């Protein structure tokens, strides 16, 4: 009896913690484009912070309203393009990092993908490609 209620409590806690994170990520159209390749984890993290001319440190969103942007480090490259032509990218760091995390959750950590992150632009969403170059 005690064990059952303990497990129930644990399940409820995990559910309460996990579901908001999952919802916040909000990616769609995830395609794992190169399942046999695993990119270097550190290089990938540097590339994540290299979009929009750099979003490291205290910068909390994409600067400069670009119509497209890449984040590259070594052989790792992210390319971001708005899904609406002519829209500008203003994605927040949190939305960006959560989106990448959600794609990795589907494809495997540090594996190339294409996906669409909800929002993050002046209109529409942001299409993302991660590739080895
Ligand atoms: C997630 O996507 C759904 C469906 O497009 C949308 O209704 C919802 O507002 C989005 N949530 C966030 C936090 O962006
Ligand atoms: C991935 O590797 C497996 C095993 O070596 C191979 O059979 C498969 O064709 C490879 N897939 C791609 C897309 O290269
Ligand atoms: C990408 O951005 C560059 C620099 O802002 C711009 O010159 C180019 O036209 C853009 N390409 C597309 C497809 O929007
Ligand atoms: C990006 O621009 C849209 C449309 O102007 C706005 O609703 C949204 O709050 C902006 N996002 C950020 C992170 O500034």
Ligand nearest to the CA of 27: 1
Atom of ligand 1 nearest to the CA of 119: 14
Three-class HEC string of the chain? CHHHHHHHHHHHHHHHHHHHHHHHHCEEEEEECCCCCCCCHHHHHHHHCCHHHCCCCCCCECCCCCCCEEEEECCEEEEEEECCCCCCECCEHHHHHHHHHHHHHHHCCCCCEEEEECCCECCCCEEEEEEEC
Cα angle 59-20-34, degrees, rounded to a multiple of 5: 70
15-61 tens-digit pLDDT = 444 444 444 568 999 999 999 999 999 999 999 999 999 999 999 99
Which of 74, 78, 82, 69 is closest to 42 using CA atoms?
Answer: 74
Predicted structure pTM score: 0.81
What is the distance in A from the centroid of ligand 3 to the CA of 68? 6
68-113 tens-digit pLDDT = 999 999 999 999 999 999 999 999 999 999 999 999 999 999 999 9
Best residue among 24, 25, 26 to mutate for probing ligand 1, ranked by most atoms within 8 Å of CB = 26
């Amino acid at each position: 009896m005690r064990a059952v209620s303990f497990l129930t409590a644990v399940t409820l806690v995990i559910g309460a913690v996990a579901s908001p994170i999952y919802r916040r990520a909000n990616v769609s159209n995830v395609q794992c484009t190169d399942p046999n390749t695993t990119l270097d984890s550190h290089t990938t993290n540097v590339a994540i912070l290299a979009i929009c001319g750099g979003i490291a440190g205290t910068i909390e969103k994409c600067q400069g309203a670009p119509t497209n942007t890449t984040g590259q480090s070594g052989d790792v490259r992210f390319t971001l393009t708005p899904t609406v032509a002519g829209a500008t990218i203003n994605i927040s760091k949190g939305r960006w990092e959560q989106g990448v995390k959600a794609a990795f959750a589907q494809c495997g950590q540090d594996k190339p993908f294409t996906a669409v992150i909800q929002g993050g632009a002046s209109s529409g969403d942001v299409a993302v490609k991660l590739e080895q170059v």
